[in-house]
Structure 1
């Protein structure tokens, strides 16, 4: 194992608030990954066997080495048909695997729609609009659970001062952000101010904020999966969210001046 590889896994800071929902499993997987590729896959498959996860076409989920993906097979199509998730020994696929456990219905719904698009259109030089949107969700989505339409409107309208300053007290009681995109999680191992997710707004009842973490994730998992399977999808379904602006996620954002940086908290087309 190279020093650079080990440093990548060792750099995960489990004290980061956005990692709290996946910390217990993540710590075990991290230790296995540092022990070696075989140990890592063994832990993933042990957990998968006990969790009854399935692919987009109902196949029991397992994690295989990347080089076991047959030549010419599509990644998403192979997962859907066999349940076998090709998994590299790196941070990107580490967080991808964790999302299969955190939000199994969403991951299966994304896989089902990707596989259906591949069946219909084949694999070409471009994915097409629907597959692009599905990939964007998978790689970079933030679930924005919201019980107050005015806060959702502020996010859609680039109303950063409203969302993060004037209505700061609403975070945790009327809205919250939950990480989903595994590429975004990988970036946040080394956080930087401009790191931006694609927020998927989920309307939730006020009672959502009385639930514990597991119940909140289960509610989001079911609701978002149903939408992914039922709705037309394109890139316009998302709103940009600079994730280090989320109250409590970054010490510097305690100061309102943090949000004055228009290179990060951009005014957006509507405001311009």
Structure 2
């Protein structure tokens, strides 16, 4: 029920083992296949029918410790991120549920829920030398990907957002992640516990992200071996 996934792609490395196991369970629903391999730290995965009509999705997960899951790529990747980063996903859910309890569900989410949703769906985390961070924040794409290209051997980019992972099934040059900026109190470590600790509500409400076209990362697209690849202002846009 799921299209073929090229698990050799570098952005899928953190999810490859679990993803292949779930994808091979061709006679099972996505929820039951995820449930069969989940560690104790992850919530239970249940069919989408378990979400009562009118109940907020994030509030339901928080209250029941179950994740309603549809048989599609979007929820498949959401489940894989839950398996790989259960503490971070739980932290995002806790913050979402607390905001829903405080303000209810309205026409707009508000700044914190906007930021939480943005990171959950389209976020990424970068561990990189300061020179790469300086170029990224300045959106100096030539410095980031051409003159300082060798520094990417010391960097690692984690695609966290499950909607972005879904988009990358058919990679397009314009696919862009919202990369979580460094903060003064925390490192850029990509392990689950460290990432969860970084997610403070006051900081997140400021939307501490910077855009990064992920197919510009060296090794993530064969075409970017040419410097001319980055001469595309529709994708590699200057800083406003």
Relative to the length of structure 2, the TM-score reads 0.93
Match of 1:227 in 2: 198
Q: Contact (CA 8 Å) 1:103, 1:217: kept in 2 or not? A: no
Match of 2:17 in 1: 24
Match of 1:110 in 2: 92
Match of 2:227 in 1: 256
Note the aligned Cα RMSD (angstroms). Answer: 2.0
Match of 1:3 in 2: none
Write out per-residue CA displacement over residues 140-181 of structure 1, whole angstroms, 9 at most, x where no aligned residue: 0011112x22221211110111111111111131x2211100
In structure 2, the residue corresponding to 1:24 is in which secondary structure? helix
In structure 2, the residue corresponding to 1:125 is in which secondary structure? coil
| Inter-CA distance 137–158: structure 2 relative to 1 (3 Å threshold) | same
Between 1:230-239 and 1:88-97, the stretch displaced more is 230-239
Q: Contact (CA 8 Å) 1:13, 1:189: kept in 2 or not? A: yes
How does 1:28-177 map onto structure 2 within 5 Å?
Answer: 28-32=21-25, 34-37=26-29, 40-48=30-38, 51-54=39-42, 61-146=43-128, 148-173=129-154, 175-177=155-157
Report the CA distance between 1:45 and its aligned residue.
Answer: 1.4
Report the CA distance between 1:223 and its aligned residue.
Answer: 2.2
Write out per-residue CA displacement over residues 194-239 of structure 1, whole angstroms, 9 at most, x where no aligned residue: 11110113479xxx9xxxxxxx642xx2222112135432363110
Relative to the length of structure 1, the TM-score reads 0.82
Report the CA distance between 1:52 and its aligned residue.
Answer: 1.7
Q: How many residues align?
A: 238
1:186 and 1:135 mapped to 2: Cα distance? 15
2:73 and 2:87 mapped to 1: Cα distance? 22
| Inter-CA distance 92–171: structure 2 relative to 1 (3 Å threshold) | same
2:200 and 2:238 mapped to 1: Cα distance? 32
**Which of 215, 237, 245 lines up with 2:208 in the alignment?**
237
Report the CA distance between 1:10 and its aligned residue.
Answer: 2.9
Match of 1:198 in 2: 178
